[in-house]
Structure 1
Amino acid sequence: MKAFICHHVDLKASVYATRLVSSLVLLQTPSLPSARPQNQSNFFTDPYQFLNESTKSQSYTFQETKIMHAHVLKTKSLHSSIELSNFLLRGYCKASGFDYALKVFDTMPQPDISSWNLVITSQNQSSRYADSWGNFCRMHSLGFYPNEFTYGNAISACIALNFVNGGKLLYSLALKHGFSLDGYVRSGMIDLFLKCYSFNDALRVFSDESCGNVVCWNAIISGAIKHNKDYVGLNLFQQMCRGSPLPNRFTFPSVFGACAKLQELELGRGVHGLVVKYGEEDDLVVGTAIVDFYAKCGQVDEAINKFSQMPVRNVVSWTAVIAGFVQKGEFKSALRLFKEMIILNQEINNYTVTSVLSACANPLLFRESFQIHCWIYKTGFYWDPTIKNSLINLYSKLGAIELSEQVFKDMKDGMNTSTYSTMVTAFCQDGKLKKAFSLLKKMFLEGLTPDLSCIPSLLSIINLLELGEQIHCYTLKTGGLFNHLVGCSLFTMYSKCGCLNESYELFKQMPDKDHVSWASMISGFTEHGYAYHATELFREMLFAIDVIVDETTLTAVLAACSSLRFLKAGKEIHGFFSKREDNTYVYGGSSLVNMYSRCGDLKSANRVFDMMPCKDQLSCSSLISGYAQNGYIKESLHLFVDLISSGLEVDSFTISSVLGAVGDLNNSDVGKGIRIGIQLHAHIQKLGFESTASVGSSLVMMYSKYGNLDSCLKVFNQIIKPDLISWTAMINCYAQHGKGLEALKMFEHMKKSGTEPDSVTFVGVLTACSHSGLVKEGYSYLKSMVKDYRIEPGKRHYACMVDVIARSGSLKEAERFIRNMPIEPDSLVWGTLLAACKVHGDMEIGKIAAEKFIELNPSEDGGYVSLSNICADVGQWEQVLKIRNEMKDTGVVKEPGWSYI
């Protein structure tokens, strides 16, 4: 600066300066301010005076800066003043001449902290973040002490580079030199940690000292909400409102977003009140956030009210209201508002269009879907991948998968991962597993990686363990296993395929389990015969943190109680949920009716049923089934008649329950049961349910109970796609009526159809073998269970096999078979052998079988009676008398026989 003060301009320099002023004036455009030549003239006549005229903040074009730079170089005054060099640096930075700024900096003999700040800033502005960080390190190594601007710029470079360790080093230096509380430094560090997904570190920086900088508060609140720490963000907002600084228009949008996500309606209304209090209601961004909040909370009327009061509306506010209508199910209102946007020539973006397409996912709006599709094509939105994906999804939901495929094929060269994944999901929703996997293979061949969004859809329709394991391997390889939805779908898939251990291991490995995950695992245990484990898991769930116990969980755990007939536990769970809800609403009514019905407490089931404001099919079916299973056949039928009379739709489950009740009438009134069954069959044909597997199976079992095999076969042949239950019912029908060969033929047809048998099917097959005396075939089927289908035989299977062997007269072989069984034989197995001994009059083996039967079942009269009859048949009356006395001593009383006649 001294050099600048002492510098005298000679005559030559003055003349030269005059020439430059003239050339500068010629270069200026008419748009330049009139003051510009005056300032530039001052620069050339007296640079010191020029720098003190507050023109350093003025912007110059790149060409003007170069002219001034040229003058300084000609006069050799560049190195005489650091202020002059910094002025040129600043000029080049403002004119985006970053390369020239660096050249000026490199020629500076002794740059100061302002020079370093300017060059670091210029490198940040030109996206040379690594060079910016390098210059900071170089500056620090040369002994310069950074100021708040230096730290701020260096932190900006670290943010761009995701260089967390560098940011931590900077913050350490800032702490050491007393700049850590500066708002620029602090907000930069918070931003760095948030962008690098280190929310806890960001919160630690914010909490080091009390902060009065609104930028820091806004950064940490917004960061908490973006990192799904919504309650933390709202808590910070409440703290902000109690102190200083007060929230501003940049604070409120994030807070409204958190309130919408958490459905905190009352809290959001309170924030709305603060917006009015602080006078920010007319701000476009804040107003749009308010509209979006009310819409997402289902308060569409309030959203429209706020929307109508907005002085200026943008595409976001219009889209928020349309999305609110869609969420509430008012699809026609959404379409009307969209039509109004078109008429008013409002801006429409792809979010608006996708919201409208969501509204069209209703069979009643199929015509409107085509119209909007045409508008999309006409306006050019059709080629947007997001819109294409929405159209594919729309037609899939409408059941027009062919149209989804057509939209997909129209993509041609514009195929991307998202579109492929959407089409895979559409195939899955339509149940087309083969097409879904074919498309997935095509993706891999083209080098595309599927979105995680389509993996849960794939897993939901996979019923082959091998395919499921392949998807599992893929998720492990790509890291998708840590995705919550993928993890939940994987363990559900394993549960569905009968691999409960693998399912539970995956469940335990999930880092964050929500209520859906818990409910899915509880259901998995129940469905595979581990209902007790399901109740234990529910108890564990109650102690978990941040888990919502909702109706989904209630349904799952009550199903477990129903399976175990745990009436007491079911009542406790009912009480637990009743305390959480308003007394005017029966929470989980259908599940409770089902639980009470299956546990035999029909009085409680009826009471819950009467309290339900809306009776549904499930609750009616559960009560009908409960009455039937507990012997109240007439009540069951009366309730079914009431169901039809009330106008409620009858589903296949309800009809199956009624058919089961009619089948049980054979113990009391065979003729009446047959008449009712025929009437029901006629009603089923009228409704069109006779071709469904569940109703068809129930009809087969009903006619089987009445011995009408011709009707059984006729009904079975009407089923379009017989499932495992249908095939098993028909096999058991033949087996129980002595048609063993027909049963085995039906079993072979079943295998050819691709339906795999289960343990119940094999009970029917082995029963057919016993009724037809097919010993060799019986052994073959028993081995096939383990070898071909990995089904471990149970006691019922072994009892059937004993019957197969013993009926053929090979009683000793049957006894050896029992003693060589891998499981401990029970009373059913020994009782089967005992019955065969009575038929064949084998006293010796019969006595052994009777003793074993009595030992396992001492209170049962069957063993004593059978042994007594065997002795009577061979004339051992003394032994008969001895057995009768034993029965009298042990208190066993023979039940009297009865007959229909």
Structure 2
Amino acid sequence: MNSLINQSFRKKFPLFTCKLKSSLAVIESPSVFLVERERKLQNVTPFDPFQFFNEHRKSRHCTVRNTKVMHTHLLKSAALHSNIFVANSLLGWYCRCAAMGDALKLFDTIGQPNVFSWNIIISGYNQNALLEDSWKIFCRMHSLGFEPNEITYGSVLSACTALQAPIFGKQVYSVAMKNGFFSNGYVRAGMIDLLAKNCSFEDALRVFHDVSCENVVCWNAIISGAVRNREYWVALDLFGQMCCGSFMPNSFTFSSILTACAALEELTIGKKVQGWVIKCGVEDVFVGAAIIDLYAKCGDMKEAVREFLQMPIRNVVSWTTVISGFVQKDDSISALKFFKDMREVGEEINNYTVTSVLTACGKPAMLDEAIQIHSWILKTGFYLDAAVGAALINMYSKIGALDLCELVFREVGNIKNLGAWFALISAFAQNQNPGGAIEFFLKMLEQSVRPDKFCTSSLLSIIGCLNLGRQIHCYTLKTGLVFDVSVGSSLFTMYSKSGCLEEAYQVFEKILDKDNVSWASMIAGCTEHGCADRAIQLFREMLFEEITPDQMTLTATLTACSVLRSLRKGKEIHGYALRFGIGKDIVVGGALVTMYSKCGILELASRVFDMLPQKDQIACSSLVSGYAQSGYIEKALLLFRDMLMSDLAIDSFTVSSVLGAIALLSRSGIGTQLHACITKMGLESDVSVGSSLLTMYSKCGSIEDCHKAFYQIEKPDLIGWTAMIVSYAQHGKGAEALRFYELMRKEGIKPDSVTFVGVLSACSHNGLVEEAYIHLNSMAKDYGIEPGYRHYACMVDLLGRSGRLKEAESFINNMPMKPDALLWGTLLAACKVHGDIELGKLAAKKVMELEPCDTGAYVSLSNICAEIGQWEEVLKIRNQMKGTGVKKEPGWSFV
């Protein structure tokens, strides 16, 4: 066939070859055109366009200049207009050299373009990323009535995929089906790829199952689509179906499946796939990189390195995979060593390699290495890459060097680099610097750079000002970011942290596609703000919407059950977790232990704890706290000892729980031993541990050790100051308690109701009546705290100690709330001390009315009467006790 065509061309262009020789001398590479300047004119071989284009189909000399020279000479002949092959070949050359404007002009001059002409121009636009032009050419082809073939449909579907235009793609596929291409593997693979890459994986599966697949390309498209959409088990199931048929997987298939196994951390399945790869002999550099990634993701870096060293050919992907694996294992030293080896062998380094290395250097102890890598990046020019610039900022952020983050941001220099803006704002957020984050967020707006969902979410995560949060909320409404699930979640979390639960719920309701993170955040927010019932209701709504809860959601709901002490609901959620196979999850298990402990069912808490495959810090701490709060002090201490022996991390919550248990025992010896252990662990400066320590020493009667424990706290908070004030007050050191109260106020810490109990108690022990009145009035006037029964009881006790019994009675009668038995009982005790019979009888009568079973009131009144010799009254009171069934409990002592 070729010889017949060649003969026809020689007949049509005998004179063209003579004119060609002189012009070809100006072309950059004359040898490409098989012309030798030394030949004599009579010896020149006649030019055959068909043979020329056929032989130079993949020529590297396809430049715009060469193509235009060829175009010029072809225009002088009849070849270009009379033979479609020549025109299509020249059109292909223009497309290959990216001269799409010239290609379109040439295409428009072709009198009768065939389907190959249309395919060449469409593919040319695709190859040069002019995807909209590719779509327009297809529409033009369709409107002119030209019949596309499978290549046309495949190319246009590829353009629609890159354009992220599934609607256009569906229209193209409809036309293809109408024209009988519904079973064509190339067309179907293109449609599957389009749907899978545009988040319509279910539609992609539907297209795949429409017709029985006879093409491995379709299988590869649907499997890779499943992996892209994180449907890893679906990918493995499809792979199983493919293998059961008569289709032999290729390297592309194996790469996708190994990626799925790596994501699932299914090393056993991955090894089976690797065995099949070896058996089929299809291992190439990409499959090898996927195998390395499998072992790295599964934590077996030794095997990953072994596979890497066995690879006959290593490329940048395989090197980067090993480096990333070491980064995931937090082995920065090995990652940097492999990077050094990679540079020494002269392997190509891309931006993925650099970002992995920068992640490895993101530690405070590796500042020197980070600066060296930064210098290398500046030297090699990688800092111009947007992803590398953002990774540099992230690296310095993790090191805690915010000044260097700003320096890198200025070096990047491109204000439109959204990744760098996001990295910088996130750096301020991670280092708890809201001022810097807000400043650069405003600069973004000034530079007309629109913050994306990542920037906005990061800023919202650290905002403590409700007014500013509302302004950002308005911005998200204006830009439409409010409908994004991450921004919406950050918004309602911001409102929740500010105490505006209703506003948080309103934002939550407006999120269209709520995920597990948003549900868990809202449930946790309700629980934290005293709406645990609402949290349980939200969990029910989540189930009604057929959303499967994950570990995080179940943990948040179990916390709500713990707050409510709702054993029944907690058991229901426990059953739900067991049903879905996550009942033994470490996080869920810890929450279950906490729930059963808070509900007082320590037997079930212990059983759940024993069933956990791995005991972590949270589960152990929860059970220790449960034992301590329920009075099982010995069990709490034994479990705490087991934690120490197992080298489990001990947090402040665990230590505080154990200290609380020791305080109940009043065993200062054990407390001193634990104090030494706390000092060894470096927790003595923690505010919660320090407060628990001084409370423990206070209950053991050692006020000096309380003082020492307080001054070990790095930054005492309200709880620490209050604990110290109460301790001094309880030990009769009222002056020291009041002095600490004044020091606390000078530190700018506002007291709470518990603090004032300690202050008023200190005034009572020192007989400071006027000062006590001043502090009582200060509660509401200066701090907006309404006094409670305990505060009024302190005042009555103070007045009683001072002998001002009538004033105490008047104080009780003029209280803004109805007196309780505690207040009258306090007055009764003062009457007994000062021998006021009549007022004592009145106080005792009030106590008996409010609490008829209060033994103390009867005994106190009987003792008062006995001291003044009113034995008839004593007998009357004793008979009254017998009539009401009240018995005096005998005293007892440990001594």
Q: 695, 717, 720: which one pairs with 2:689?
A: 695
What's the RMSD between the two structures over aligned residues? 5.7
Q: How has the CA–CA distance of structure 1 residues 602 and 379 changed in structure 2, closer, same or farther, with 3 Å as cutoff?
A: same
Specify the alignment match of 1:781 in structure 2.
779
Is the Cα contact below 8 Å between 1:233 and 1:255 reproduced in 2?
A: yes
State the partner residue of 2:710. Answer: 716
Aligned residue number for residue 345 of structure 1: 346
- 1:448: how far off? 4.7
Counterpart of 1:669 in structure 2 is none
Could you list the per-position Cα deviations for residues 389-433 of structure 1 after superposition, in whole angstroms to 9, with x for gaps in the alignment?
A: 5455445545x5377458647737467544454344444444444
Quick one: structure 1 residues 75 and 393, their matched pair in 2 at CA, closer, same or farther if it must change by over 3 Å?
closer
Distance 2:344 2:388 in 1: 21
Could you tell me whether the CA contact under 8 Å between 1:621 and 1:653 is conserved in 2? yes
Q: 1:119 to 1:758 in 2, by over 3 A?
A: same
Determine the structure 2 residue equivalent to 1:670: none
SS at match of 1:31: helix
Look up the match of 2:255. 253
Structure 1 residues 557 and 740, CA gap change in structure 2 (3 angstroms): farther
> Where in structure 2 are the equivalents of 1:487-506 lying within 5 Å?
495-499=496-500
Q: Spell out, residue by residue over 1:448-470, the C-alpha distance to the aligned partner (whole angstroms, 9 max, x if none).
A: 55665566666666556556556
Q: Partner residue of 2:19?
A: 20
Secondary structure in structure 2 of the residue aligned to 1:251: helix
> Paired residue for 1:187?
189
Equivalent positions of 1:358-377 (< 5 A) are 358-360=359-361
- 1:29-178 aligned at under 5 Å gives the runs 29-32=29-32, 34=34, 98-107=100-109, 116-117=118-119, 120=122, 129-159=131-161, 161-178=163-180
CA pair 139-367 structure 1, distance change in 2 beyond 3 A: closer
- The answer (yes or no) to whether the contact 1:221–1:254 under 8 Å persists in 2 is yes
Q: How far does residue 518 in structure 1 lie from its aligned partner after superposition?
A: 6.2
Other structure's SS at 1:205 match:
helix
Question: What is the TM-score when the length of structure 2 is the normalising length?
Answer: 0.76
* 1:254 shift after superposition: 2.4
Answer whether contact 2:122 2:134 (CA < 8 A) is retained: yes
Q: Which amino acid aligns with 1:664?
A: L
- TM-score, reference length from structure 1: 0.76
| Higher deviation after alignment, 233-242 or 832-841 | 832-841
Alpha carbons of structure 1 residues 596 and 87: separation in structure 2 relative to 1, 3 Å: closer
Tell me how far apart the structure 2 counterparts of residues 536 and 260 of structure 1 sit (CA, whole Å): 37
Which string of whole-angstrom CA distances, capped at 9 and with x for unpartnered residues, describes residues 703-757 of structure 1? 4436666664564345331112112213433555677787666556545534455
Corresponding position: 1:832 with 2:823 = yes
Bigger shift: residues 268-277 or 795-804: 795-804
Q: Distance in 1 between matches of 2:625 and 2:567?
A: 17
Deviates more, 1:731-740 or 1:718-727: 731-740
Contact persistence 1:190–1:206 (CA under 8 A): yes
Amino acid paired to 2:187: V
Give the Å deviation of 1:177: 2.3
- Deviation string for 1:477-528 (max 9, x for gaps)? 5555566666555555555555555556666666666766666666656655
1:303: how far off? 1.8
1:205, CA displacement in angstroms? 3.3
CA distance in 2, matches of 1:53, 1:691: 84
State how far apart, in whole Å, the 2-side matches of 1:367 and 1:72 are.
64
Instruction: Quote the Cα distance in structure 2 between the aligned partners of 1:730 and 1:231.
Output: 58
Q: Are residues 876 and 491 of structure 1, via their aligned partners in 2, closer, same or farther at CA, if it must alter by over 3 Å?
A: farther
Distance in 1 of aligned mates of 2:674 and 2:828: 43
The equivalences for 1:392-431 within 5 A come to 392-394=393-395, 396-398=397-399, 401=401, 404=404, 408=408, 411=411, 413=413, 416-431=417-432
Instruction: Answer yes or no: is the 8 Å Cα contact 1:291–1:307 preserved in 2.
Output: yes
CA distance in 2, matches of 1:482, 1:242: 44
Shift of 1:226: 2.0
Match of 1:853 among 840, 845, 850: 850
Contact 1:392 1:405 in 2 (8 A): yes
Aligned match of 1:228 = 230
Q: Does 1:664 align with 2:668?
A: no
* Matches of 1:573 and 1:96, distance apart in 2: 62
Amino acid at match of 1:250: F
**Cα distance in 2, alignment partners of residues 689 and 68 from structure 1:** 82
Distance verdict in 2 for CA 1:421–1:850, change over 3 Å: same
Measure the CA separation in 2 of the matches of 1:641 and 1:14: 99
Q: Secondary structure at the match of 1:411?
A: helix
What aligned pairs does 1:812-827 form with structure 2 within 5 A after superposition? 814-815=812-813, 817=815
Give the corresponding residue for 1:286: 287
Matched to 1:660, the amino acid is G
- Kindly indicate whether the alpha-carbon contact (under 8 Å) linking 1:396 and 1:429 is maintained by their aligned counterparts in 2: yes
Whole-Å Cα distance in 2 between the matches of residues 646 and 72 of structure 1? 85
Compute the displacement of 1:321 (Å): 1.7
Are the structure 2 counterparts of residues 839 and 439 from structure 1 closer, same or farther at C-alpha, using a change threshold of 3 Å?
Answer: same
Q: Once the 2 structures are TM-superposed, how far is the Cα of residue 317 of structure 1 from its aligned partner?
A: 0.8
Greater Cα offset, 881-890 or 231-240 = 881-890
Q: 1:528 to 1:772 in 2, by over 3 A?
A: farther
Which residue identity lines up with residue 344 of structure 1 in the other structure? V
SS in 2 for 1:809: helix
Distance 1:898 1:456, change over 3 A: farther
Cα distance, 1:697 vs structure 2: 1.6
Are the equivalent residues in 1 in contact too, given 2:855–2:887 (CA < 8 A)?
A: yes
Matches within 5 A, 1:439-478: 439-448=440-449, 465=466
Distance 1:683 1:96 in 2: 73
SS at match of 1:247: coil
| Alpha-carbon distance change, 27 to 245 in structure 1, aligned in 2, over 3 angstroms | farther
After superposition, the Cα gap between the structure-2 partners of 1:486 and 1:847, relative to the gap in structure 1 and judged at 3 Å, is same
Q: 1:705 aligns with which of 678, 699, 706?
A: 699
Q: Deviations over 1:173-196 (max 9, x none)?
A: 222222333344333333444454
Match of 1:264?
266
Counterpart in the other structure of 2:727: 733
1:467–1:115 CA distance, 2 compared to 1 (3 A)? closer
> How far, CA to CA, are the matches of 1:218 and 1:751 in structure 2?
70
Given the superposition, is the C-alpha separation of residues 63 and 634 from structure 1 closer, same or farther in structure 2, using an over 3 Å criterion? Answer: closer
Which residue does the alignment assign to 1:324? 325
Q: 1:334 to 1:893 in 2, by over 3 A?
A: same
Retained in 1: the 8 A contact 2:316–2:347?
A: yes
Q: 1:115 to 1:652 in 2, by over 3 A?
A: closer
Asked if the contact 1:738–1:772 (Cα under 8 Å) also holds between the matched residues in 2, the reply is no
Partner Cα distance (1:195, 1:646) in 2: 48
**Which amino acid counterpart does residue 778 of structure 1 have in structure 2?**
L
Question: C-alpha separation between the residues in 2 aligned to 1:53 and 1:360?
Answer: 56
CA contact (8 A) 2:483 2:510 kept: no
- Superposed counterparts of 1:878-897, under 5 Å: 888-896=882-890
1:753 to 725, 741, 747: 747
2:835 maps to none
How many equivalent residue pairs?
Answer: 867
Separation in 2, partners of 1:353, 1:93: 34
Q: Deviations over 1:757-776 (max 9, x none)?
A: 55544554666688846456
User: Hey, what does 1:299 align to over in structure 2?
Assistant: 300
